[in-house]
A and B are shown apart, each in its own frame.
Chain A
C-alpha cells in the first residue's frame, strides 16, 4: 500500500564492500516523519557477503538521534533468501543486551546496571513514557506476538529515586522484582522485595533497610474499569491487602484496605511512632495486635473498623494508657454498627478506669453509648446512664452526658495524684458537657460530697486535655467541711469545727495550680465545738515562718484552745500567693481569732508568699515543734 510504503523513508543509502569489511551508510531514516535517525552507519569488520546470507559477529552500528551519537554492537545472522534472521545487540557498554530471531516471537533482554532514565528518557519521555531512575539488572522477555513483557530472572533494582514533592518522595529504593505484563489485555502481575531505600509520604516515613516489605499485586481489566489487588507485607509486623478500581485516566472509584498489625510493638517502632510524634503523642509505647479495615465507595470513606487484640498502650506525658484492650471500634458513614471495647485498665488524662467494657455505636458524626454503663474508678465507680456526642469531627462538638459518681475514696485519688493522703469519699452528679475546639465545658455544677460537707464545682472546663499544657479550670464552693476529718487527713494537728470556702478562678495548668482566688473560713455551728490543738497552732504559725510558736512557751501545757474564727485567703497569680485572713491591713492579717482563756490569736505579717513554699509549708507542717 502506498501509505504504508511512505512510513519508512531513507535517503542516501550507500553500501560498500571493502577488504576491511562491509559498510552500509544512510544519511537519514525517518519513520512517519517523527523519529529521525541521521548518519546511520553499519560496519561489519569481516569481509563477508551481504546477500543472500549475511553473518557478522561483532558489527558496529551507529546513528545520530536528537543530536546525539549512539553506538551499538551487533551480532547478526540474516538469510535474505529464506527470511531467517538472528540479531544480538549490545548497547551502552554492555548494559543492555537484546536478542531476537525470526524463529521466536520473543525479544530477550539482559540488563546489567542499566539505567533506563539516563539512557532513554530523552528519547521516550516526549512520548509520555516515564522511566524509572534506577539501575536494573536481570533478564526480560518481550513477546512481540502476545505483547507481553515478563521477567525471566528476578529483576534487581537499586538507586530508584522518584520525587513528586518535598513530602512525597522515594530515594535509593533497592530490591528485586518479578513481573509479567500484557499490553494487549492491560494486565500486570508483580512481586517486589523492597530491602533498601526510604520513603516519605507526608507524615509517613519508612526506612526499607529496617522495615523490609514484600509487595505483590495484580491488575486486571474488567470492562472500562481495572481491578487492582495488592498486598504489602512485613514479616515481623504487617500484612496489608488492598483492592482498588480505577480507569484509563487513573481516576479511582472504590477502595478496600485491610491491614493486620500482628506485632504493634515492632510496627510502632518502625512506622507509627514517627507519625504519632507529629501529632504530639511521641514516646507512645504499644504492644499487642490490631487490624484496620477501611472501605471507600465512589471515593468516599464509608466505613473504618479497628479491631484490637490484647493491646497495651502507654503515653506517660499525656497520661494515657490502656492494658489488655480488646474489641472493635466500627465507624460507619450511614449504617449504625455496634462497637464494643473491653479493657483490663485504662487511664484517660489521668483518670484511671478499671476493668470494664463499653458498647457503643459510631455512625457518621454521632456517638451513642448503648445503654447504661458502670466504669469502676478506684473503689467507686462512674455510672453513665446516657452518653451521646454529635458533630464529632467539627470544632463545636455536641456532648450530652448523664452520669454520677459512686463514692470514691479520696485516699486513693490523692495517692494517685501524689498529694498528701486525704480521708473521706467523693460522690456526686456529673452535669452535661459541651465541647468547643479544644475546650470541654461542663454545663451546670458538679456536686460532690466531701469531708461530710458539700462541694460544688462550677464552670468546670478542661482545655487541651491531651495536648500541650493541659488546663483544668473551675470555681469551687464548699460548705460544712468537717475540720477534724480534714486536719486529720493532712496530719496537721487537730482542729474541730466546720469549714466553708470559695475558690474562684481556679486554674490548674500542667497538673499544677496556676491561679486561684481562695478564701476558707470556719462557721459557728450549733453543737460543734471549735477547738484548735497546740500542734495545729504551731503548724499554722509555721506558714508565717515561725517554728514552735507555742510549744516553746508556757502555753505548751495546754493541749488545745478554743477559737472563735479561723480565716485564710490566698490570691495566687504568677506563682505568688497574696495571703490574708481577718482584719487585713497592708502588712498584717489575722488567721486565728481566739475565743476563751487562754486567748490565742495568730497574726501573719508576710502578705506575699511563693506558692510552692506555701504549699510545702502547709503540707509538711507536721514537723517537730
Chain B
C-alpha cells in the first residue's frame, strides 16, 4: 500500500469519525418531563375531560407569548430555547390525549386494575388475560385496545412532528414507555425489557 492510499484510508477514517460526531441533539430530559406530564394527565383518576381543550391550550400559550412579546429580550431568549422546549400541545396531540383520558376512565383503568390488560414495552397496551370476561366483552375489549394503540402510535409520531423532528419518534416512544410503566399503579401489569409480564 503506497503512502497516498494509506493517507486516503486514514483521512477517510477521520472523515467517517467526523460524520459520526455530528449528532442531532435529542432533548432527553425535556422529552421525559413532557411525557411524564402527559401520562400523569391520562392516568389521573379524578381527571375530567376538558370540554374546550383548545382554548385552555391557547390561554396558557398566549399568556406566555404575549408576555414574551412585550419584552424583546424575552422574545429572543424564548426563541433560543425553542429547540429544547418540547411541546405536547398541538391540536392533534390534544385531541388524542382527550380521547385517551376518556378511554382510561371509561374502561382501561378497570381492566388495568384487574390485570386483564397491561402496558407493553413498546408503549402500547395489550390483553394479557381475558378469561374473566364474557365473550362479548372480550370482543369489546379488543376494540378498546386496538383504538388505544392506534391513538398511541399516532401520538408518538405527532409528538415527534410537532417538535420538528420526525426521526425522534422511537426515542419519544421510549420516553413514554418509561412513563407508562413508571406511573402504573402498584398491582398493574407491565412488560419488562425482556418481554415478560410482571406485576408492579
Contacts and interface: CB of A to CB of B under 8 A. Distances in A.
B29 interface: no
A612 B61 contact: no
A167 B138 contact: yes
B101 to A, nearest CB: 15
A608 B139 contact: no
Nearest to A467: B150
A200 B139 contact: yes
B138 A515 contact: no
Contacts of A468: 96, 150-151, 153-154
Interface stretch (A219-227, A274-282, A371-379, A556-564): A274-282
B48 interface: no
Interface stretch (A107-115, A148-156, A506-514): A506-514
B92 interface: yes
A280 B154 CA distance: 13
A614 to B, nearest CB: 11
Interface string B101-142: 000000000000000000000000001011100111011101
B196 interface: no
A575 interface: yes
Contacts of B92: 469, 471, 509-510, 514
B136 A608 contact: no
Interface stretch (B5-13, B38-46, B66-74): B66-74
Given A469-B158, A586-B75, A280 B147 contact: yes
B54 interface: yes
B90 A574 contact: yes
A166 B139 contact: no
A199 B90 contact: no
Given A575-B54, A575-B58, A464 B75 contact: no
A576 B62 contact: yes
B143 interface: yes
B91 A512 contact: yes
B155 to A, nearest CB: 9
Most-contacted residue by chain B among A277, A280, A464, A512 (CB, 10 A): A277
A612 B53 CA distance: 13
A83 to B, nearest CB: 55
B14 interface: no
Contacts of A519: none
A624 to B, nearest CB: 26
Contacts of A510: 91-92, 95
Nearest to B135: A200
B41 to A, nearest CB: 16
Interface in A78-125: none
Given A279-B146, A280-B150, A512-B91, A274 B139 contact: yes
B156 to A, nearest CB: 12
B129 A469 contact: no
B47 interface: no
Most-contacted residue by chain B among A467, A507, A574, A607 (CB, 10 A): A574
B62 A608 contact: yes
A575 to B, nearest CB: 5
Most-contacted residue by chain B among A169, A274, A586 (CB, 10 A): A586
Nearest to B57: A575
Most-contacted residue by chain A among B55, B134, B136, B143 (CB, 10 A): B143
Interface residues of A, number: 39
Contacts of B33: none
Interface in A457-484: 464, 467-469, 471
A512 B92 CA distance: 9
B161 interface: yes
A203 interface: yes
B87 to A, nearest CB: 6
A610 B58 contact: yes
Contact of A205 (B90, B130, B139, B158): B139
A149 to B, nearest CB: 31
Given A166-B129, A468-B151, A576-B62, A514 B143 contact: no
A166 B62 contact: no
B89 interface: yes
Contact of B154 (A274, A467, A607, A610): A467
A282 B96 contact: no
A198 interface: yes
B90 A587 contact: no
Given A574-B57, A586-B75, A607-B69, A166 B138 contact: yes
A282 B135 contact: no
B65 interface: yes
B146 A514 contact: no
Nearest to A464: B154
Given A166-B130, A467-B150, A468-B151, A203 B90 contact: no
A533 to B, nearest CB: 31
Contacts of A514: 90-92
Contacts of B62: 576, 608, 610
Contacts of A471: 92
A576 B146 CA distance: 32
A205 B136 contact: yes
Contacts of B57: 574-575
Interface in A230-282: 274, 277-280, 282
A488 interface: no
A279 B146 CA distance: 7
A207 interface: yes
Contact of A576 (B65, B130, B162): B65
24 contacts: A167-B138, A171-B135, A198-B135, A200-B139, A203-B139, A205-B136, A274-B139, A278-B139, A464-B154, A467-B150, A468-B150, A468-B153, A469-B92, A469-B96, A509-B90, A514-B90, A573-B90, A575-B54, A575-B58, A576-B62, A586-B72, A587-B69, A606-B69, A608-B62
Given A274-B139, A575-B61, 8 more contacts: A166-B138, A205-B135, A507-B161, A574-B89, A576-B62, A607-B69, A610-B58, A612-B54
Can you list the 10 inter-chain pairs with the closest CB atoms, starting with the nearest? Answer: A509-B92, A586-B72, A608-B65, A205-B139, A200-B135, A277-B143, A468-B150, A610-B58, A468-B154, A166-B130
